[in-house]
Amino acid sequence: METTLRGVGVSHGVAIGEVRHMGTAVLEPPAKQIPAEEAEREQGRARQAVEAVAADLVARGNLAGGEAQGVLEAQAMMAQDPELMADVERRIAVGSTAERAVYDAFAAYRALLAGAGEYLAGRVADLDDVRNRIVARLLGVPMPGVPDSDEPFVLIARDLAPADTALLDPALVLGFVTEEGGPTSHSAILARALGVPAVVALPGAGEIVEGTVIAVDGSTGEVFVEPDADKRAALERAAAERKAALAASSGPGATSDGHKVPLLANVGGPGDVPAAVEAGAEGVGLFRTEFLFLDDSKKAPSEDKQVEAYRKVLEAFPEGRVVVRVLDAGADKPLDFLTPADEPNPALGVRGLRTLLDHPDVLRTQLAALARAAEGLPVYLEVMAPMVADRIDAKAFADACREAGLRAKFGAMVEIPSAALRARSILQEVEFLSLGTNDLAQYTFAADRQVGAVSRLQDPWQPALLDLVAASAEAAKAEGKSCGVCGEAASDPELACVLTGLGVTSLSMGAASIPYVRATLAKHTLAQCERAAAAARAADTADDARAAARAVLSGE
């Protein structure tokens, strides 16, 4: 009998197929003692396993490229963490086997993260995956991962580590469903990049029996278990209609009455550029530069290396707009040479611009590299700082840009509520704003963007979040400046209409979402978007806001 479950839809499209479950996690190794004379050999085994797993993660990243590469390289750094390795060796020295020492050391690190206010709890899936891979290698058992299958299937997992998501084969994995995660988790972001329909934060997904046919609607978050023929036909018809609408939509982003809304791409490096160009991106709204700094956690990349990477992206968009975010290090993206190791709550500590202002040489080098990379190119370069809290932050960044001789617009990201509330003040120092709705939601609701249990508060339809977007957009309009959105909220086609109605001047998203957003905007007038925005802000819950906006956009 057909049943309907509801999670959080994070990647558009419909997938219908049989369920396959993720391979089971590595079992807990037995706690047995080893003779003292074997300790050195066991320590060597542990080091070899760690290095092998780190190398495998880096190799997977090189294959995947783009945003996934940075995520996997960060996991490799996690595997090689010197403090973790020292703890493993200490445990072996007092009698643990290599595999047990790894298991217990990672468990202790898990507890440490939980004690740090759980901001880093969203990295638990990454941490567990690294542990499982190291233990599996030591035990000589197959690595956990995506099941082998000759036939296409829908994958169900408790959560998906980046190493698994990055190399999913869309020809075999029709879509996936996870019990945990949120709309801005690594798995969700990578699913959108792959164009694979996905639903996350679905309690009880693991109880669906292997081989059961399910239908996954990555737009609505609905999962239909054993759908009947009528339901399958309706879903397939809706999917075909969406595909036809996408094919018919092309050109710059605009509402049906001609109000222009540039549609830009979020990219993590040169590897993401081809997909952005193919999707018709009008430029780059968020160029994350962290990927360059993850190659070596001990020191920053050279200016020449940065120039080479930046120029590849800038050259891809002649006459286009490219917005570069300077290094956003700290919190869940620690770098040994930059970020403190002993902060009680890294999310509320030295992160983003704060880190760069503490290390002006790193910021100076990056700005100089961007200036060189843009020389002689007909590109509209804009550079923005992450985690700007107030006018003092904005002025410090603008001053640094001018001192570096950067011929570009300087901007500030709005990720902290104070920046939205005092946007006019910040705009006295910079020329544009860009809303990072993922972090803005996180800080507005005190809800970690990676924790499935609080995914309700990470829903970008939350009226309080829309109020902060409206405040920022209104401030920018009053100052005659631009205000874009580069968070994942922009990838929701209906929410894109609402953001347009709130006064947002550009939208940036993963390349796979651009055709959906372009087609949806083209069906509605600016006035409809404004009415939908007003209806959404008048609601009290995210669900009610979504329903109210949808009613306006559908003409009900």
Chain position carrying tokens 């059961």: 212
**Around Cβ 134, how many Cβ atoms within 10 Å?**
26
- Active-site annotation holds for 483: no
* DSSP line for 413-459: EE-SHHHHHTHHHHTTT-SEEEE-HHHHHHHHHT--TT-GGGGGGG-
Selected catalytic residue, list 12, 186, 359, 524: 186
Residue 482 to residue 487: CA distance in whole angstroms = 16
Q: Which residue type sits at 111? A: A
Residue 280 three-state SS: coil
State how far the Cα of 60 lies from the Cα of 57, in Å rounded to an integer.
Answer: 5
Catalytic annotation, pick one of 401, 483, 486, 497: 486
CB 374 within 8 A of CB 317: no
* Residues paired with residue 243 on neighbouring β-strands, in sequence order: none
Contact 434, 455 (CB under 8 A): no
* Nearest C-alpha neighbor of 263 from the set 477, 483, 517: 517
User: Across-strand partners of 177?
Assistant: 156, 199
Three-class SS state of 471: helix
Question: Are residues 343 and 403 in contact, defined by beta-carbon separation less than 8 angstroms?
Answer: no
Residue corresponding to tokens 């709309």:
183
Determine whether 158 is exposed, middle or buried from the number of CB atoms within 10 Å of its CB (0-12, 13-18, 19+): middle
Q: Give 31's Cβ-side CA count (13 Å radius).
A: 4
Does the active-site annotation cover 359?
no
333 DSSP assignment: B
Distance CA 225, CA 337 (A): 49
Following CA atoms 231, 236, 241, 246 in sequence, which dihedral angle do they give, to the nearest 10 degrees? 130
**HSE (side-chain half, CA atoms, 13 Å) at 236:** 10
Mind telling me the catalytic residues? 186, 486
